[in-house]
Amino acid sequence: MKKYMTACMLLCALVVLHAQSISKEFVFVEGGTFRMGSNVKDDFGAAPVHNVTLSSFFMCVHEVTQMEYQSVMGENPSFFTGGSQPVDCVTWYNAVEYCNKRSVAEGFTPCYKKKADGTYTCDFASDGYRLPTEAEWEYAAKGGKKNAASNYSGGNDIDEVAWHYDNSDDQTHEVMTKESNALGLYDMSGNVHEWCWDGYAAYTAESQTNPTGALNADNYVVRGGSCFSSALGCRVAMRVSLSPTDSDHVGFRVVRTRLTPLVAKTPLKAVKSKSVQGFDKSKYKEVSLQEADKTVAASVAKGTQSELYNTVFFKSKCHLIENGEIFFNVFADCTNMVGIWLCEEMQNSTVPLFAPLIIYYHYYDSTQPDSPGIMLDGWEIVDQERFVGQSYFAADNLKIRSAPSLNAEKVGVLYIDNAATVLEVGEKTTIDGISSVWVKIHADGGKEGWCFAGYLTDSTVNQ
């Protein structure tokens, strides 16, 4: 059990670095390549079919509701009123403004920037809310990598998955009252038309990667059909072109490129050590903590460890567990914790907990012949952009559950050394004496669910 203790510390950082709450109403749409469009004659504007490759993103499972829109914009333009019904009568400009205002209100970086001429640009790397591109919309509507070919999003029986002309009584309905598609997305067909970011343009046969459509076009794309649309108008490949000032029966849903903000990297703390004159980085050999430990163990076995003292200098990647007044406790993946003493100038350091580091250190005589001490001479934060959207390996066989609870149904297993992508961070918990968090994962085998983060690591156990 002890050899896995370091793994639990890694994912504890999720709580610290990902303080913003992640909406449980977003699903992870894993990127991939798909065939966009349709050669069916009735799918207006959808030909020719062409290959599109997309990066991963997160999409809200439902259309923006009137309650959500009112809370951000201070008004409800909808013709059909009801807090849980999708907002309608929204222009493309309204939707873009909503995304920016909601991003600011929740502490995220807005994606859209308005230029002097009234047009907009989009920063797709931002962590704020935005409209899906047309390609993202269609890929998600088709189920992403879980693509099951169907006429409508979620199946071929339109009455099961959509509010449309023949079953809606000519009005919108509460979101998520029909069946979802394979990704857990609701109302991608029917209820209200949904704005996309793209200006409308004819398809071409060329393959594309992360297309964003025409910029500042006269007309923009809406997809999905509405409660007034025929079955034909609700097909997943059907395209509609509207002026950005049109709004009849039109709403939208939001996506986010990332659920965690970009974090600036912290520069090297150029701290001089009393033990290492001048702190010359060039004299430090890069090794893993495991390799350094083996080097010392071999010297101890030969009785030559004194040759290491103040003469052999290492640098290693690790994570900070504990920041004491005169020591660091750090770990490298799949190794036990290592205590490192701080030289005088390094004491009372402000290195943040759980920070991924490169440490510069050397060994010294600790008065225990078989246990040389480790002195820290300098450090560098190398990356704080981690966790959500990142892949980790299982350090033991992990049960995947339907909810973040030991009592929840088991839906699969993440086997040791198999990889999974973290989608969402849940509550803190302690299992087997290890304190960590629940995380929602997407396993390489396709399973999604919740598992305990205490046995996840970012390298394989048996390497």
Please report the DSSP string for 392-452 in residue order: EEESS-EEEESSSSTTSPEEEEE-TT-EEEEEEEEEEEEETTEEEEEEEEEETTS-EEEEE
Q: What is the rounded (10 degree) CA torsion for 261, 267, 273, 277?
A: 150
Q: How much of the chain exceeds pLDDT 70, in percent?
A: 75
Strand 57-60 to 26-29 pairing: antiparallel
| Cis before 211? omega within 30 | no
4 pLDDT exceeds 50? Answer: no
pTM, to two decimals = 0.58
Q: Which residue has the higher pLDDT, 71 or 275?
A: 71
113 pLDDT exceeds 60? Answer: yes
**Exposed/middle/buried for 114, CB within 10 Å: 0-12, 13-18, 19+?**
middle
For the chain, the residue count is: 463
Distance CA(285)–CA(290), nearest Å, equals: 14
What is the reported pLDDT for 20? 29
What is the reported pLDDT for 234? 97
73 pLDDT exceeds 60? Answer: yes
- Six-digit token pair at 401? 């559950």
Note the pLDDT tens digit of each residue in 182-230: 999 999 999 999 999 999 999 999 999 999 988 888 999 999 999 999 9
What is the reported pLDDT for 334? 38
Helix (H) and strand (E) counts for the chain? 6, 25
**Exposed/middle/buried for 287, CB within 10 Å: 0-12, 13-18, 19+?**
middle
The top-scoring range by mean pLDDT among 349-358, 440-449, 454-463 is 440-449
The top-scoring range by mean pLDDT among 232-241, 256-265, 314-323, 433-442 is 232-241
Average pLDDT over residues 150-179: 97
Average pLDDT over residues 273-289: 70
Q: How many other β-carbons are positioned within 10 Å of the β-carbon of residue 209? A: 11
Mean of pLDDT over the chain: 79
349 pLDDT exceeds 70? Answer: no
Strand ranges in 154-254 using DSSP code E only, listed in sequence order: 193-199, 208-209, 220-223, 239-242, 250-251
Note the pLDDT tens digit of each residue in 375-409: 777 777 665 444 566 667 787 788 999 988 888 88
Strand 327-331 to 313-323 pairing: antiparallel
